[in-house]
Structure formats: structure tokens, C-alpha cells
Structure 1
Amino acid sequence: MTQTALRNADIEAALNDAREDYVTRKPRSLARYVEATAVMPGGNTRTVLHYAPFPLAMARGEGCRLWDADGVEYIDFLGEYTAGLYGHSHPVIRAAVDCALDDGISFGASNMTEARFARAVCKRFGLDRVRFTNSGTEANLLAMSLACIFTRRKTVLVFNGGYHGAVFGFAGGGSPINVPFDYVVAPYNDLAGTQALIAAHATDLALVILEPMIGSGGCIAASGPFLTMLRAETTRVGALLIFDEVMTSRLAPGGLQSVVGVKPDLTTFGKYIGGGMSFGAFGGRGEIMDLFDPRRPDALPHAGTFNNNVLTMSAGLAGLSEVYTPQAALALNTRGDRLRERLNAVCQAADAPLQFTGIGSMLAVHTMRGPVTCPEDAAKSDPKLKELFFFDMLAHGIWLARRGMMTVSLPIGDAECNRLVAAVEEFLSARRSLLR
């Protein structure tokens, strides 16, 4: 047997042990899972939360901590896939929601908070106009449809490994449940290849959409020259440039676009901006957004019972104006950068095939050596080693995504960051023989 085969067999054996230990220690999560399979396909209503042998069930949260069904405490380094920026039951958010509940929930009418919230979002992210939705998926669907109508074109350029919501997944090129736009799939961060595709589809290209840092695909940042090229080329051919900042808007006071210095025509939002409530939004240039102005005889329709629901409007306004101020955004993302630097330093010191990518308060682990500049690079990670890392982190009281994504939320401080670094150091030490 070759050295590689021996190493793989050792990793598989360690992973089997970790899974068995997990099953032994999580009887209530297992019971909940078995019960759920009777009424939900696979006991699941959100695919990303499922993993074998069964997913952990959380019973409650407070600040930056969670407790599972078996009473075990975790530091929440997942942060609801970036939506949980404020932690669990932040007092300012809680007070805003309680106040909103006192006056009623659903009015079937305009309310006293939505315009104030819209003004705060526009000012923060440099938008002329904004409209609210119930999720980032909805925001992207409406923004992409709007771009096709505005340009009177049909072709949509997306990127391999990109994700723009439940019906816009492009890992491996696409998903069978994607909304049927006329897609062209380009290579992320490939300047020449993408430029050639834009030129080839110039006459019918409606839009280019991307995250300025891929989130779900491994926290992979787009290069400055790549984004600058996209801005120049979409302008040249008359297409719209859409930045999906559903995740990345948290990375700087004005979103990641304010850091990279590239202004899109439209931006989509979601996640934390709703203060922990269901939320999505899209906005940008007034001449484009005003196609939704109901005072126009040719106005586009935009329905949604809960678009302006008072809980989201109230929680979102309180969070953006009182808690996640520009100063707080800078401080949080500086903390995230320092944490990622510390984690990479311990990996390098151990000469291990482990690294952390990302910007600011978003990071992801990759079980591989070499640069990670696109999803194709990230795919070189050892999946068994990454799964072992996940179960070892759970055993050390660290909650993260099964795929290795993590975030730093506002309640996370030095003590929690130290705990994560110590857990990674222990993984590097305990699994040294597997990290050759």
C-alpha cells in the first residue's frame, strides 16, 4: 500500500471514530432527527444543515453561545451563515422587536418604520433607491429580472462556484432547481477568460452578477483587477453589473464594494441587515429602480406580503443605526482579520495542509496547500480531513459550518478567539500523523 493510501486509510479510521463518538454523545439530537424524518424529507427543511450521521439540534442561544439538545455548550462561530452578526437576543434588537409587537404585527399597509429603514440602508451603502424582500434569494431573483427588463436582453453571466440563493447555485456549473435564465457560466477570478465571454455575448448580455468575495464556496475574494475589468466591460457592452452583497455587506461600513472601489449598478442584500429577522433587499441606480414606481403607467409589479413587515423593519433599523455602526463594522472586521492571521500562523508553524481564507469577519478552512483563488482551487481540499476537522471542533465546543465556513459576530471577544485558536492548535497536534 502506498504512503497516500495508508494516510487515507488512517484518516478514514480517525473519522469513523469521531463519528461514533458523536453518535454516543448526542442521543437527544439523534432522537429529534429520527422523529423529524417522519414529517420532513430526511428530517430536513434546509439542505445545508444536514450532515451524516445526523445533524446536531440546538435548543437555545445567548450572546455568542449555543446549547444543543443534550445540554452541551458551544461558541457560535457559524453566526447563522453571516446572518447572526448581532449574536442571540441582542438587547437593542430585542427591545425594538418587543416595541413593534406592542403595536401589532401585520397591517396590510405602509407603516411608520419602512421609509426610515430604507433611508438608513441607502445612506449606508450608497444607493439611490431600495426595495425590500423576504430573503436574499428573492432579492437576487428580482434584481436579475429587473436587469433583463431594463436592458431588454436575456443572457445572464454568472460564475462557477457562485451562490445567489436557493434557486441560483452554480457549484459545479449549476443546479437542477435553478431559475431558468439564459446562463453563461464564467471562471471566477479569471480575467481573460471572463472578458472573452463578455465579448462573445455582448449583444445580448443583460447582466453580470457575482459576490465580490464568494461566501458559500469558501470565502474566496475577487481580485481588484478582476472587478475593475467587470465594471469596464459591462459598461462597454451595455450590461448591468450586480454585486451580491447578501453576505459581504458586513465586511466594511459601506459593504465590500466600498473597499474594492468598484460601484455596481445594483446591489443585493440579506442576512444580518434584518436584525436576525427574514430579510432581503435590492437597490442601486434610480433610473433602474424607478421601474418599480407604482405611479408610472408602465410600472413593474413587486408583491410580497411580508416585504415591509414591522418586525424586520424595526429590528433592521435598530441594528444598522444603533449597533452595527460604521465604527463597529471596522472594529469587528479588524478582529476577524487578526483571528485569521493567527490561525494561519499556527497552521504554517505546524507545516500542515490547512489554511483559512476570507476577509474581515468571514473565514473558511481549506484542507490543502497552495493558493485558493477560485472554487476550482478550493475543490482540492481533502473532504475527509475537513470532515474530521468539523467533528474535532464540535468536540472542543466550537460550532461552525460542516463545509468549514465561520464568522465572527459582535459578541465574540478575545476569550472566544483564543478558544478557537487553541482548538485548532490541538487539532494540529492530535492529528499530526494525518497531516503529513
Structure 2
Amino acid sequence: MSPGTILDSKPKTQLNYFSTKLPQAQTHARLNIALATAHQRYTTANPTSSRLHVEATSHLPGGNTRSVLHASPFPLYITSGTGNTLLDADGHHYLDLVGDMTAGLFGHSQLKIQMTLVKTISSVGLNLGATTSTESQFAAVIKERVKCIEQLRFCNSGTEANLYALIIAKIHTRRRKVLVFKGAYHGGVLGFAAGVAVNNVDRDEWLIGKYNDVAGLRELITQHKGELAAVLVEGMMGAGGGIPGSAEFLHAIQDECRFNSIIFILDEVMTFRLAPSGLQSTILHPITHQPLSPDLTTLGKNIAGGIGIGAFGGRADLMAVYDPRTSPVPHSGTFNNNSLAMACGLVALPQIYTPSACLELNALGDELRARLNEVGAGTKMKVTGLGAVNTVHFVPNPAAEIRSVEDLEVDYGGFEEALRGLFYFWAIEKGYWVATRGLISLILGTTREEVEGFVEVVREFVEEYRDALRV
């Protein structure tokens, strides 16, 4: 089977609820009817997933152990993946356009990674509980790619990487507060989607600024420079909506941090994949044209070919906080240097996600974003992002620039939210795996023909619901 499998379950004739221009109230009502109809088709087409979800709720809160994967009325249960395709429990195939929220860059069955895993299991062993030469070799590979990293350490996730980087900053500066930005996501316990520290007990230690607001940034640092240990920021907001940081904003952070002896931490957990040396290498100072050079950089998600991983590194004097020869500060973690992640990282970056492969994939992503914005021109649909990581939005005024999550917050009566849900069901029904929040993250090996197929599906969506989508 191929993308489009589920389409066969859709009635051959479907009432177009938006064939004529209607007042907004009527359009909204018909939009809700269309969404309810899509819900029903989804439920009818996926009885096995529905049953598995009910069973899972007996063992897991909400039947779920990773909140971002939940979907209403129930998530689809995936049984296997090959390359950039997925198979669900009801036998439907999908082109994977999520790539495990950017972590699945290498797909589900990359041959070199498979061979590395088998070889490591059979000839090295699993968790050896000892130092190995592989970890220093992998560290050297990362240093070669990310030039501002002088030394680094491994951990188990991007969440951990950011937590450890913050500990370094607080120890080094002897300050407690950290400046982050509304909408940021720095890991499972470091989310700021609603402008508050989600899942973090010590909320008083956070200052929350507005992304891409240079004046606001400088004002906050001026007011709190004696308290601030670090500024932690993504070069592009990932979970916050695929919003790129401007060069002026990100270099202002770097300059203000240097001037005020604050540690500048750049979260590249998601964005490292956007350029051969990470996104930081592409963000040039408006005057000097120098790239960013953060004090600390955090990594994770895809650097080990799909095995769970995290890393944090930067200036050697800062990383010395965790040097056991001279510092009492511990950095432990049973699986920090596990055999599988270290071995796969040594293959994934130098042999598979080479600079040329990186540039090619991200060029395809830029092309996809441009095509989707062409398709949605004059409607509420707008796509933001960089390279192969993008997000589909539905906004009241698509002509306005999206520079922060505040620009995504206007939702008149849930109108745009309903469109987002309808788009999700439309894509799933046509055989394209997208995130409920609109995230698109291309997997290595995705072809231009596959991208074109998705563009055509989106074009059909826009035509079907044009009256609801019109500004």
C-alpha cells in the first residue's frame, strides 16, 4: 500500500460544506459539522486503534506515556515503520512527515544504523558500565561539526542536556535566575508554552521574555543582570510553532550576555539538523557577519541515529565544572555512554548525515514550505519554519509576520483550532502522517515526488474548505 490507503474508506461523494460564501457564524457552524464528520470517518476507519486505546487507559493515564502523541478521539497505534513509511494496527500505510518530532531524521530502518546496532550488540555488548574509547571518538565528531564546542559530555536526552547546562551556568555565575522565552520548549520539565514554567517546581527562578523582541530582551537583562545566571534560547522555536529567531535578536542575546557576564545557552536539540554545523553557524551578525558562538550548546534527538541521547558542551572552562579530577560536582547517568548510542553516533553523523546530505534535505524542506505557502496564499493557512522542519498554522491574518507565540494566540471562538483539527484528519485520511499541532519534519530519503504528493493533498484541502479558510 501507499499514501492514500485510507481514502478508499471515504464516501465517493462528499457534501462540500463550503461551496458558497457564507457569514462567519454559518461558516463556523459548518466547519464544526465537517470536523465532526471527519471524527466519525476516522473512528470508523480505525477500530483496532480505538480498542487498543481503551485497553491502554487501564494501565496508563490517558492511555499514554508521551503526551505530545495523544490525539482525539484516540491516537492511531503504529505497529511498524520502514524507511519513511509507517503501518498502523488497522493496516493503513502513511508517509511519515513527522519523523518522531525531528528525532527520527534517519527513518525507521536505515541499513548502516541497523548493521551498527547488530554489530555492537554481538561484539561489544550493551551497557558496559565502564569508560570506552567510543565516547571520546563520538565527542570528537561533534566538535568537528560544532566549532564553538571545546569540550562536551553525554547524557540521555535533550531535557537532561539543558538541565546540566543550567547547573553549569548557576555554579559558574553563583546566580539563580534564568531568562527563557514564552512558547519555548527545552525538555519535558522545561516547557514554557503558556508563559509559565510548566512542570517545574521552582517557578521563581525563571524570567520569561518575548521571543524576537530585542528591546524587551535588553530591558529584562538591565533589570535583572545581577540575578541572571543564563539566557536559554532556541534558534528556532520548535514546539512553539516553528518560529525562527532573527539574527538581530539572537546576536543581541549573545552580546548582552557577554557584556553582563551571563551564560548564553543555545538549545540546538531540535535545530542542529538544520545545517551541517548546527543552526548557530548560519545566523550571522547583522554588521560583523560572524556566526553565533554560544557559551554552551545543547544537543539531542537525532545525533545518535535514533537512539536516545543528549549532549551539552561549550567553553572548556565552563565544562570543567564536571571534571572529576578537579571538581566535586557530579555528573552521573547510567546510560550516558551506552554502547548503542555511542556506536550509532559515530556512524550517523560522519557517514549518513553528511554536510551534503544535510544541505540537500533542508533545501527540499525549504521548497516544501514555499510550495505550501503558495497553495495557501490568500487564506488563513501559513507555514513557518526553516529547512526540513516546518509547522502549518491557521491564523486570522496570514499577512502578518509570525515572530513570537503571541502572534499565534488569536483564535476567534476556536475557529483556527477547528481548521487545525480538520487539516490533521484530512492528511491522515489521505495517508500522510502529520502531527496534530501541524509539525512537519522530513526524514532522510524523502523524495521530491513524495513532497509533491503532499502538496497536492494540501491543495485539495484548501479547495475543499476555501470558504472557511478565506481571510
Q: Same fold (TM over 0.5)?
A: yes
The alpha carbon displacement at 1:426 in A equals 0.8
Kindly indicate whether the alpha-carbon contact (under 8 Å) linking 1:228 and 1:262 is maintained by their aligned counterparts in 2.
yes
Displacement of 1:176 in angstroms is 4.3
Preserved contact between residue 152 and residue 319 of structure 2 (Cα < 8 Å): yes
* 1:83-114 deviation per Cα after TM superposition (whole angstroms, max 9, x unaligned): 01111110011111111101210111012311
Equivalent position of 2:218 in the other structure: 195
Once the 2 structures are TM-superposed, how far is the Cα of residue 346 of structure 1 from its aligned partner? 1.2
Unaligned runs of 5+ in 1: none
Summarize deviations over 1:1-47 as a string: whole Å, max 9, x none.
x9222121111111000001000000010111011011111101011
Kindly report the root-mean-square deviation, in angstroms, between the aligned alpha carbons of the 2 structures.
1.1
Q: Secondary structure at the match of 1:53?
A: coil
Q: 1:401 aligns with which of 432, 435, 453?
A: 435
Distance in 2 (alpha carbons) for counterparts of 1:434 and 1:354: 11
> Within 1, Cα distance between the matches of 2:227 and 2:51?
53
Asked whether 1:253 is paired with 2:276, we answer yes
- The equivalent position to 1:184 in structure 2, one of 189, 194, 207, is 207
User: What's 1:104 paired with?
Assistant: 125
What is the distance in 2 between the residues matched to 1:71 and 1:112? 44
Q: What residue in structure 2 maps to residue 410 of structure 1?
A: 444
Give distance in 1, aligned partners of 2:97 and 2:174.
Answer: 43
The answer to whether structure 1 residue 49 and structure 2 residue 69 are counterparts is yes
| 1:284-433 paired onto structure 2 within 5 Å | 284-296=314-326, 298-348=327-377, 351-368=378-395, 369=398, 370-380=400-410, 382-433=416-467
- Which moves more between the two structures, 361-370 or 179-188? 179-188
| 3-state secondary structure, aligned to 1:273 | coil
Would the aligned equivalents of 1:219 and 1:358 in 2 still touch at CA under 8 Å?
Answer: yes
2-side partners of 1:279 and 1:105: how far apart? 15
* Aligned position for 1:167: 189
Q: In structure 2, which of residues 135, 138, 158 is the aligned counterpart of residue 117 of structure 1?
A: 138
Query: Does residue 215 in structure 1 map to residue 238 in structure 2?
Result: yes
Letter of the 2:174 counterpart: R
C-alpha separation in 2, matches of 1:176 and 1:395: 33
Corresponding letter in the other structure for 1:403 = R
CA contact (8 A) 1:168 1:179 kept: no
Cα deviations by residue, 1:324-365 (Å, 9 ceiling, x for unpaired): 0111111111111111111111111xx221011000010000
Q: Quick one: distance in 2 between partners of 1:412 and 1:183?
A: 40
Matches within 5 A, 1:206-285: 206-260=229-283, 261-285=291-315
SS in 1 for 2:226: helix
Deviation at 1:254, TM superposition (A): 0.6
Structure 1 counterpart of 2:31: 11
Secondary structure of the 2:444 match is coil
Tell me what 1:435 maps to: 469
Q: What is the correspondence of 1:109-148 to structure 2 with a 5 Å cutoff?
A: 109-126=130-147, 127-148=149-170
TM-score (structure 2 length as normaliser):
0.90
Question: What is the letter of the counterpart of residue 143 of structure 2?
Answer: C
1:118 is matched by which residue type in structure 2?
A
Determine the structure 2 residue equivalent to 1:30: 50
The residue type paired with residue 324 of structure 1 is: Y
**SS at 2:383 equivalent:** strand
Identity, in percent, stands at 44
Q: Structure 2 CA distance, aligned partners of 1:174 and 1:141?
A: 17
SS at match of 1:52: coil
**Aligned-pair CA distance for 1:145:** 1.1
Post-superposition Cα deviations, 1:242-285, rounded to whole Å, max 9, x if no partner, equal 00000000000010000002111000001010210111110000
**Alignment partner of 2:194: what SS?**
helix
* TM-score, normalization by structure 1: 0.97
CA contact (8 A) 2:190 2:198 kept: no
Tell me the matched-pair count.
432
Contact 1:167 1:179 in 2 (8 A): no
Q: Secondary structure at the match of 2:68?
A: helix
